[in-house]
Chains A and B, each alone.
Chain A
């Protein structure tokens, strides 16, 4: 099979299109590149969806944690501690078995044991907790002067939040939030190693990389390919978040801009 045919057959193998059987016997470099790349579709799906929904929820959580009323503050604090204080790996396992038990309660939960839904929920909650902590920290360090200036102009209530507090909070939080997004993409590789089954061998990039490593007993080819893809993904994330960062800092004189400092990968 030529490389072009391989790409045709396996480029979308991870989401169920193309050849049903995985390649057998001799694995060419092209096989490994194509299939691992195809697995990256899952990582991107998990990461992108979890970040989009997590961003919204994290903002709510951060505000709740900042609330004066303990009835609102306490649950937010507990939620954040629960997800930041325990390993994501254990969260995946626990959630999977909870969903498995819920299945017998109501058919409503049938789809939750599939990785595409169940793992996504865990990742969403997890990234919400981590991002909320970042946003909360930024919220606490919004300069007092900004608020005083807002008061002086008579901007109050929700307007003050929308036009002064929130943009400043985002601006301060953005470099850390970029790191969080990178962690999240790295964390997506845990999904298929933690209970969630890979239905019909449709797994993520690491699933295929470890498949090749197991079959060939040679880790020196598939894992560097995986590393290549992830470094590429990380660079894309950095440049996309960099665009937003420039937008958030547009109004500042050059010297004050918060520089994007990269502090990569600490797993959760």
Chain B
């Protein structure tokens, strides 16, 4: 990075540290913080969509659909989510390859599951064997996003399902009395009013989502946990210009501080949003605001 970094063995103290912290691998480490933020930015809206879908399905008047919605909520929530993370990554990967296999290689005779192997034709491999490394990494990242969205979608579905129930029933009845169709009641009355009731649950969910991001590591993405382990491990002078002992403890301390800061900032922002949304609402918080403003 810096001009004086050409021979690190002569450096000491701060200048050594400044060179050490700007190596290419450290840059990748810093970039992985971006990966985490990107995951959050993509997952949160996707999970919300899954949640909305799940909640609407669970409310459906047709039994098979409502069972599907309720089953989705119940199963994902009853089982440790890390198990789902490990499960869905393989299951989604195999599912996608199986579908592509059916479409692209209809002449394939042999069974796909042979004992302990999962065999599809080369054309159906996802991504293709010939694809460059970065495609593999991006594919892995999207599998992770989808997995997160499925798991957190179930939590969100539960929150939204509850929020929809919390909307005063008189509001819906009034809307129906004005001659709105069930679809109009849903879109014009239920959906806009639901958010205030869903917000506490959803903000709680956001905090949980932040704290679930290190699990990316288990999905095989090169995230901050991966790099902290990689960079912190003992480095021998023979293989690197910057030999050092086992520093993993300090790297994980940095991660710990990063997450603490992140949750603190989120807490402050969410508190602001809650206040903003409570203004003018017929709730206790709204009433307190009104009194405070005089």
List residues of A whose CB falls within 8 A of some B CB: 26, 81-82, 85-91, 93-94, 97-98, 100-101, 185-187, 189-190, 193, 206, 209-210, 213, 215-220, 223, 226-227, 230-231, 234, 263-268
Contacts and interface: CB of A to CB of B under 8 A. Distances in A.
Interface in B94-143: 94, 113, 115-118
B259 A265 contact: no
B273 interface: no
A227 B225 CA distance: 26
Given A94-B249, A94-B255, A227-B83, 9 more contacts: A87-B214, A89-B214, A100-B248, A206-B82, A210-B86, A223-B87, A230-B83, A264-B78, A265-B80
Nearest to B210: A87
Contacts of A89: 214-215, 217, 225
A85 B79 contact: no
Interface in B64-101: 75, 77-84, 86-87, 90-91, 94
The bracket for how many chain B residues form the interface is 35 or more
B70 to A, nearest CB: 13
24 contacts: A86-B259, A87-B211, A87-B259, A90-B214, A94-B253, A94-B256, A97-B246, A98-B249, A100-B246, A186-B79, A186-B82, A189-B82, A193-B82, A209-B86, A218-B116, A219-B86, A220-B91, A223-B83, A230-B80, A230-B83, A231-B78, A265-B77, A266-B208, A267-B208
Interface of B: 75, 77-84, 86-87, 90-91, 94, 113, 115-118, 155, 158, 204-205, 208, 210-215, 217-218, 225, 228-229, 232, 246, 248-249, 252-253, 255-256, 259-260, 263-264
B82 A94 contact: no
Given A217-B117, A231-B78, A266-B155, A85 B264 contact: yes
Given A93-B252, A94-B249, A97-B249, A190 B82 contact: yes
Given A206-B80, A218-B118, A97 B252 contact: yes
Nearest to B215: A89
Contacts of A90: 214, 225, 252, 255-256, 259
Contact of B86 (A82, A213, A234): A213
Contacts of A267: 80-82, 208, 211-212
A87 B213 contact: yes
Contacts of B94: 219
B211 A94 contact: no
B80 A186 contact: yes
Interface centre among B78, B80, B218, B249 (most CB of A within 10 A): B80
Nearest to B212: A267
B83 A209 contact: yes
B86 A215 contact: no
Given A97-B249, A266-B155, A230 B79 contact: yes
Nearest to B86: A210
Given A90-B225, A91-B256, A266-B155, A226 B214 contact: no
Nearest to B113: A218
Contacts of A226: 79-80, 83
B157 to A, nearest CB: 13
A138 B256 CA distance: 29
